[in-house]
Amino acid sequence: KIFLKASAEVRAQRRLEQSGSKSENYQAILEGLKGRDREDESREHSPLVAAKDAVVLDNSSVSFDEQVSQIDLLITKALASKQ
């Protein structure tokens, strides 16, 4: 199991860049993400938290290609340990 995460600040910046919108506001996006995170992590049913046996990967400071490489390495190691 792999649980991907990134800081709210990085996610807000990524969302702003991906939207391409000149009218969106970084601070508003950031506050929206933080609010949603609080709700998701504290909801009664199925809160958004990493499973106890999950590998947590923080992708705040890595590129997409680096994330893929990290996940590929984890899978390769897991498969090798089962042989």
Give pLDDT tens digits for 43-62: 999 999 999 999 999 999 99
Torsion 9-13-16-22 (CA) sign: positive
19 has a pLDDT exceeding 90: no
Query: What does the alpha-carbon distance between residue 24 and residue 16 come to, in Å, rounded to a whole number?
Result: 7
Closest CA to 57 of 1, 16, 2: 2
Percent of the residues in the chain that have a pLDDT greater than 90, as a whole number: 86
